[in-house]
Chain A
């Protein structure tokens, strides 16, 4: 017998995180359905580097598979997926992220140019706002919230948070916990429910599940390595990723609900909202989209607005 092909599968989430379970599940399915011809070795917790280095190695062909945030370093257009306000329900997510839809097609196109193939993605859940103090009228974009929140280092989050009425500052990721604990900032923007609970539940007192963005990790394969796999096995792997992707969206609601329940148990006040309640916030964020033309490809933003703006 030929020895199995071993593929490295790099992830960024902790060993006990749902994303790692998702990766492990894919690995065992691949081994089973290829009759052991292909073995996937999972490396969680950014053991093989952060998402940007992992992606770089996929371009070069030294890491095969990844389940990571899409890096905008090589192509700023990939920030597309992080734009705030285009998805705020699980039903939307199922429709918008389907493999034959615009978003998936666009992301595939950007990746392909760099020699990386998009196989699917992992959706962890929605992103909200966690704070140490009660904010003023959380659903009214026209009222200043009276809170300074930390945002990820991306224009899309800055514009989104400002549209919702928050003041924003950039704090490097490793310093966020301390910054909240010591009240350097009043809260965080850009954390999904599970991450907010695991990392910040000692520090935050309020969780506003405003769903202005979704926690999205792309599953990619290096084209250089993909080419060495037989078409039959390629199809097996692609199918496993596709079904795992759609399953992750179904799973996301459970993960969100689970962690919000844990938050409540910990004494955090949790506010969850329906799409209708969130509509004014969403509308305010949508108005900021054209501002992105300054840093992102203007034609792409026009196309995005056309595809994603709420249909009246």
Chain B
């Protein structure tokens, strides 16, 4: 299983194709959830913002407080996209190791270290994101009083915070997957 994840010519983890790679059941459910969320949010944003333009220009009317909805949709788009990006390994990085370090123990070690850092740093931020979400969910005093909400539609902020927690949480999960693969690769030296 693990060796398929590596490009034949290098020890780097390959990017995964969102739409064609066979997935296990868990990935199928989660990745589909993120893809559908991305698609739905893009469609909703386009529709709502076009409708706002139409209402103002043609009917001189207004979709009052629409900002609050589109910002919420945008956050789910951003973080569902980021989570799926972590699964597909498309996060931006300056990949100098693959370019300058020859195949071998040093390179495998550096890739292991990089995945270890990615996973552990992201895990710490998942913890922060959880506390951030709980702050919105239970209110600033932790008592359910004064739960922060938007001004017009009174949408609770935690609806947006939850996207951050989900996004960073799943990024951590997929970085952990890569970390385990590279650990196996390092300690077994070279899978044939």
Contacts and interface: CB of A to CB of B under 8 A. Distances in A.
Q: Answer yes or no: do A and B interact.
A: yes
Contacts of A169: 56, 61-62
14 contacts: A56-B148, A60-B140, A73-B148, A73-B150, A74-B140, A75-B146, A76-B154, A113-B145, A114-B140, A148-B60, A168-B62, A169-B61, A295-B152, A295-B154
Nearest to B145: A113
B39 interface: no
B141 interface: yes
Interface stretch (A27-35, A87-95, A117-125, A150-158): A150-158
Contacts of B154: 76, 295
Given A74-B140, A114-B140, A153-B151, A167 B146 contact: no
Contacts of B67: 153, 170, 172
B70 to A, nearest CB: 9
Q: Is the interface of B mostly helix, strand, loop or mixed?
A: loop
Interface string B47-66: 00000000010001111111
B5 interface: no
A184 interface: yes
Contacts of B157: 73
A298 interface: no
B146 A113 contact: yes
A74 B146 contact: yes
A38 to B, nearest CB: 26
A109 B63 CA distance: 34
Q: What bracket does the count of chain A residues touching chain B fall in?
A: 20 to 34
Interface string A83-119: 0000000000000000000000000000001110000
Interface of A: 52, 56, 59-60, 72-76, 79, 113-115, 148, 153-155, 158, 167-170, 172, 184, 295
**Which DSSP category, helix, strand, loop or mixed, fits chain A's interface?**
mixed
Given A114-B146, A153-B68, A170 B62 contact: yes
Interface of B: 56, 60-68, 135, 139-141, 145-152, 154, 157
Contacts of B65: 153, 170
A59 B136 CA distance: 13
B154 to A, nearest CB: 7
A154 B56 contact: no
Nearest to A75: B146
A169 B60 CA distance: 8
Contacts of A72: 151
A114 B141 contact: yes
Nearest to B156: A73
Contacts of B56: 148, 169, 184
Contacts of B152: 153-155, 295
Contacts of A155: 151-152
